[in-house]
């Protein structure tokens, strides 16, 4: 495109040169000013043309930069996440995890990657009042949202990276984490931190999404976005939330993190339901870090992406209420 712009400019300049000699002096001065403008503006127009072609080709964040935004839950994401995504896919697993936590009768529980607090609220209801609950997350905007919603009884909230927990060794008898482990860049390191803050005999209880093919709306959204941005499909959902489901890898990372007992695994299948296809489209495109990747594709990309995903979901699941499969692995291991 740049080569085309420069060869176009050369032919314009040669045309100006050919006609200049036949024109009066004032016209020649004006034409020279035009030529100066064309030379000065060439890089700008080349850049514009390149930007236009980038938008059409769907060129976007480099894979490294895209990966870097996977952990960013900020701006309008926390509110949209909590409004649309939590009821869609997180609430049923939160109830499941809280029931498993309560059956262990813990006295002091640490939650990591608590997000907007769906598990925290479930724990607050499921555990006896005597149990202490401490909830943490990397992204303060997620915790702000959680605190604004509130809990049925007091919870201690702290901003904290799961790979550097600001707590003493052996402080807790249960560490809980819902759909956070996939986001930790150093999984054995994060598991070692969970192990460190657990008292001997304490338990680490967490869940991870299964592969994207077993999570219907996420799969349709990812395929639809690949048709809209063929040059660089936004792959957040497959790469991160659905990118950590191999039991062997999880068991090995737990061992590397210092958990030497055998972990337990259970695959839990549930349903994801919404009043219309547009709700999961908004939830995934706008209420997760997938949004960061889509927005990098330029103006209107988010609106177009949301529209095309709503159409794709409606085509597969119907124009009215939609109902799709979701599947996750629940994991527990003793310190």
Ligand X SMILES: C[S@@+](CC[C@H](N)C(=O)[O-])C[C@H]1O[C@@H](n2cnc3c(N)ncnc32)[C@H](O)[C@@H]1O
- Give residues in contact with ligand X (CB under 6 A): 71, 73, 86, 90, 94, 112-116, 118-119, 137-139, 142, 161-163, 178-180, 183-184
User: Which C-beta is closer to ligand X: that of 180 or that of 257?
Assistant: 180
Q: Given the complex with ligand X, which of 114 and 294 has the nearer CB atom?
A: 114
Nearest-approach distance from CB 148 to ligand X, in angstroms: 15
Separation of alpha carbons 308 and 201, rounded Å: 50
Burial readout 247-256 (b: 16 or more C-beta within 10 A, e: otherwise): eeebbebbbe
- Angstrom distance (rounded) from CA 45 to CA 152: 59
Q: Which is nearer to ligand X, 241 or 324 (CB)?
A: 241
Instruction: Give the residue with the Cβ less far from ligand X, 73 or 204.
Output: 73
Q: By C-beta, is 58 or 137 nearer to ligand X? A: 137
Report the nearest approach of ligand X to the CB of residue 68 (Å). 12
Nearest distance from C-beta of residue 150 to ligand X, angstroms: 16
Nearer to ligand X, 58 or 241 (CB): 241
Residue with Cβ nearer ligand X (182 or 251): 182
How many residues comprise the chain?
A: 335
- Dihedrals phi, psi of 33, to nearest 5 degrees: -60, -40
Q: State phi, psi for 94 to the nearest 5 degrees.
A: -65, -40
Instruction: Report in angstroms how near the CB of residue 110 gets to ligand X at its nearest.
Output: 12
What is the C-alpha to C-alpha distance for residues 85 and 73, in angstroms, rounded to an integer?
13
Residue 165: count of CB within 10 angstroms of its CB? 21
When CB distances to ligand X are compared, the closest residue is 115
Do β-strands 172-178 and 198-209 pair in parallel, antiparallel, or remain unpaired? Answer: parallel
**Would you say 254 and 205 are in contact if contact means Cβ atoms under 8 Å apart?**
no
**Closer by beta carbon to ligand X, 292 or else 308:** 292
Closest alpha carbon to 102 in 83, 86, 85, 125? 125
Report the sign of the C-alpha dihedral through residues 220, 222, 223, 226, in that order: positive
Distance separating alpha carbons of residues 233 and 224, to the nearest angstrom: 9
We find the least distance from the C-beta atom of residue 105 to ligand X, in angstroms, to be: 22
How far apart CA 245 and CA 288 sit, in angstroms, is 19
Rounded to a whole number of angstroms, the minimum distance from the CB of residue 162 to ligand X is 4
CB of 158 to ligand X, least distance (A): 11
User: Which among 141, 93, 37 is positioned nearest to 272, based on CA atoms?
Assistant: 93
Q: Tell the smallest beta-carbon distance from residue 74 to ligand X (Å).
A: 9
CB-based contact 330:268 (threshold 8 Å): yes
């Amino acid at each position: 495109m740049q080569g085309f712009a420069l060869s176009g400019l050369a032919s314009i300049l040669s045309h100006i040169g050919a006609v200049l000699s036949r024109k009066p002096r004032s016209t020649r001065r004006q034409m020279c000013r035009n030529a100066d403008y064309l030379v000065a503006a060439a890089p700008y127009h080349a850049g514009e043309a390149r930007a236009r072609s980038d938008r059409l080709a769907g060129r976007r964040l480099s894979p490294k930069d895209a990966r870097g935004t996977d952990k960013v839950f900020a701006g309008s994401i926390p509110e949209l996440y909590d409004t649309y995504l939590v009821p869609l896919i997180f609430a049923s697993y939160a109830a499941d995890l809280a029931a498993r936590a309560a059956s262990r009768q813990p006295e002091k529980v640490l939650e990591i990657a608590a997000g907007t607090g769906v598990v925290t609220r479930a724990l607050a209801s499921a555990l006896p009042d005597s149990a202490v609950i401490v909830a943490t997350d990397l992204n303060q905007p997620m915790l702000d949202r959680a605190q604004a919603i509130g809990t049925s009884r007091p919870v201690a909230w702290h901003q904290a990276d799961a790979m550097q927990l600001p707590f003493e060794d052996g402080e807790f008898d249960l560490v809980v984490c819902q759909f956070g482990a996939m986001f930790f860049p150093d999984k054995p390191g994060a598991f070692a931190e969970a192990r460190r803050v657990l008292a001997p005999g304490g338990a680490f209880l967490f869940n991870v999404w299964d592969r994207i093919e077993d999570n219907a709306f996420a799969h349709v959204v990812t395929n639809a976005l690949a048709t809209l941005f063929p040059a660089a499909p936004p792959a957040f959902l497959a790469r991160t939330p659905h990118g950590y489901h191999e039991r062997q890898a999880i068991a090995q990372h737990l061992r590397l993190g210092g958990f030497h007992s055998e972990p337990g695994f259970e695959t839990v299948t549930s349903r994801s339901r919404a009043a219309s296809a547009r709700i999961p489209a908004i939830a995934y495109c706008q209420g997760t870090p997938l949004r960061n990747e889509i927005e990098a594709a330029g103006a209107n990309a988010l609106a177009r992406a949301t529209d095309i995903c709503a159409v794709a979901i409606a085509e597969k699941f119907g124009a009215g209420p939609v109902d799709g499969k979701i599947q996750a692995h629940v994991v527990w291991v003793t310190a």
